[in-house]
């Protein structure tokens, strides 16, 4: 009897909730922590459509980042996209990077761009990707030194954000063995980025390297760096 009443109450609540207009649902959903959005979008087809649409993300953008609408469009090869993309970029900028407390939307978009490109089966050469990052920052008025620093930070953050799976192992191996084409500063990847690639291969993915691959990667590392940590040598 009690169970039946509970089920009826839940059904009544669900029916009432389903009658709310979309604009009210949007105002409710954007006040729920972002960690719960994926679950909410799976409850009803109507709710899933809201999360696929522009209206909800525009409202979320305005609520969480009210100054974002004042930002001017920027030049450069990396597009800004619609509200969902902008929200994701600002979320990345706020929670992954610490630029003197500044939430830099450009950095977030560049992070998303690089991460997506590295995950493609037909990934462009890393030198082209790095050059795209540099061009984006220079087009936005950053100095060459600042462009180099920001691009390095983004590379390191993307590499650290990747899951430890076969795809990441293959990517790191490709990056380690890729020919180092000489390009003028700041279009060459920084030593910090190249170091992190080898560091992750020889620590996080060491067991994935067979003897021949290990020797090939180790030879590249010895050619690139003067001092090799003992752990890279298997000690």
Domains in the chain with CATH codes: 1-52 (1.20.1280), 73-233 (no CATH)
Q: How far apart are CA 19 and CA 56, in angstroms?
A: 18
Name the β-bridge partners of 99.
102
Backbone angles phi, psi at 214, to 5 degrees: -60, -45
Per-residue pLDDT tens listing for the chain (235 residues): 444 454 454 455 456 666 788 889 999 888 988 888 988 888 888 889 999 999 999 999 999 998 887 777 789 999 988 999 999 999 999 888 876 556 688 999 999 999 999 999 899 999 999 999 999 999 999 999 999 999 999 999 999 999 999 999 999 999 999 987 778 899 998 999 999 999 999 999 999 999 999 999 999 999 999 889 999 998 8
Angstrom distances, CA of residue 84 to CA of 12, 58, 61, 192, 229: 33, 7, 8, 32, 43
Q: How far apart are CA 197 and CA 172, in angstroms?
A: 6
Q: Determine how many CB atoms are found less than 10 A away from the CB of residue 205.
A: 18
Residue-level pLDDT at 204: 95
- Secondary structure element (H or E) that encloses residue 3, with its range: helix 2-18
């Amino acid at each position: 009897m009690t169970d039946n009443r509970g089920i009826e109450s839940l059904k009544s609540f669900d029916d009432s909730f389903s009658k709310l207009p979309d604009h009210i649902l949007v105002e409710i959903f954007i006040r729920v922590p972002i960690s719960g959005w994926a679950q909410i979008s799976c409850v009803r087809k109507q709710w899933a459509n809201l999360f696929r649409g522009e209206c909800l993300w525009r409202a979320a953008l305005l609520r969480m980042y009210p100054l974002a609408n004042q930002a001017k469009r920027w030049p450069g090869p990396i597009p800004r996209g619609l509200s969902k993309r902008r929200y994701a970029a600002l979320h990345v900028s706020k929670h992954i990077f610490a630029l003197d407390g500044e939430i830099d939307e450009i950095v977030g978009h560049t992070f998303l761009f690089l991460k997506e490109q590295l995950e493609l089966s037909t990934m462009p050469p890393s030198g082209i990707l790095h050059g795209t990052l540099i061009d984006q920052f220079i087009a936005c008025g950053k100095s060459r030194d600042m462009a180099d620093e920001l691009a390095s930070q983004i590379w390191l953050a993307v590499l650290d954000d990747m899951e430890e799976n076969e795809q990441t192992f293959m990517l790191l191996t490709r990056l380690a063995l890729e020919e180092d084409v000489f390009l003028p500063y700041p279009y060459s990847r920084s030593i910090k980025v190249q170091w992190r690639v080898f560091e992750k291969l020889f620590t996080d993915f060491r067991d994935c390297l067979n003897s021949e691959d290990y020797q090939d990667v180790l030879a590249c590392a010895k050619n690139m760096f003067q001092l090799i940590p003992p752990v890279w040598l298997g000690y």
